[in-house]
Amino acid sequence: MEKTESLKKNYEFSRIYKKGKFYVGKFLVLYVLPNRSSENRIGITVSKKIGKSVKRNRIRRLIRENFRLYQEFVSNGYDYVFVSRHTDVIPSYLDIKKEMKFLFKKLKIFNQEKWDC
């Protein structure tokens, strides 16, 4: 398993928001922009409107873990920014897993053949 590089700088997030495409789900919004390298980079944003730090960090951990599981099934060379949407309930692990798979399929970068093996 390879480690995913994180997006940390504000200008990296801004570039993806302005130039990238976005796909909306019930719990997440996924912004995607191709990068010039052969590896994926991920950024996660959770607003303070979601709740206190415990809740925000829980959502970040769930998103990061689900991306780690799907990493080998998605195409390389993209920057991803996941933005958590405000809902009344905290999404569970399976909710985020289903939604992430849905967004990757909508983006057409999910390799279904590897998944079925």
Give the global pTM. 0.89
- Please report, for the chain, the start and end positions of each structural domain, with discontinuous segments joined by +: 5-110
Amino acid identity of residue 100, one-letter, is: M
How does pLDDT run across 33-89, given as a tens digit for each residue? 999 888 899 999 999 998 899 999 999 999 999 999 988 888 888 999 999 998 888
| Structure confidence at residue 86 (pLDDT) | 87
With 70 as the cut, is the pLDDT of residue 107 above it?
Answer: yes
| Structure confidence at residue 31 (pLDDT) | 95
Phi, psi of 116 (to 5 degrees): -75, -15
Class for domain 5-110, per CATH? alpha beta
CA-only gyration radius of the chain, Å: 14
Mean pLDDT of the chain: 89
With 90 as the cut, is the pLDDT of residue 99 above it?
Answer: yes
Q: What is the mean pLDDT of residues 84-100?
A: 90
